[in-house]
Chains A and B, each alone.
Chain A
Amino acid sequence: GQNIDQPTEMTATEGAIVQINCTYQTSGFNGLFWYQQHAGEAPTFLSYNVLDGLEEKGRFSSFLSRSKGYSYLLLKELQMKDSASYLCAVRDSNYQLIWGAGTKLIIKP
């Protein structure tokens, strides 16, 4: 079966750095997405990786290792507004998105 694993919940301090990991086992691979979802709202696109390596976008970076079936989302200089769930999704060989259950990130002052 297809599976996306990410931690259920993480806690970090304002101003610090946090890394959210995602491991996947899917039928084929055609890209990995990270989405941010604030409570009660729709997910919004953060990043997309299809090749190995690091993609940096402001305070957020996303890393991919296809050989390891692994990605992480790195958030720097954490702000209180970063408190949200972060969803990892992998596009399989049929171009369907397989979603992880999300990681709830709690930021403390």
Chain B
Amino acid sequence: AQKITQTQPGMFVQEKEAVTLDCTYDTSDQSYGLFWYKQPSSGEMIFLIYQGSYDEQNATEGRYSLNFQKARKSANLVISASQLGDSAMYFCAMREGPPGGYNKLIFGAGTRLAVHP
């Protein structure tokens, strides 16, 4: 069964507008973590934001926020005030189990975001 589902292969947004990238996940663990990574054309995976399953508040990091809806098993990424440099692939990932020595991540297929001027 697919663990991480990103249903949007591609998204377009106007510069300075907000955009939401969808992510749903599947796990039977009570403790898990959700991550978003950005992959520009250079290929490097850049960590953006993290949400722990027991975190009560939605995570925020600058212009990035994670809309965590535990009952729906969704962890959507919201980018506010989009910039041209936000154009990249975005991957949602999950770690099953609590953080510790073993932090194997399972990735979704990604969403390509294009920011238009």
Are A and B part of the same complex? no
B residues apposed to A, CB below 8 Å: none
A residues apposed to B, CB below 8 Å: none
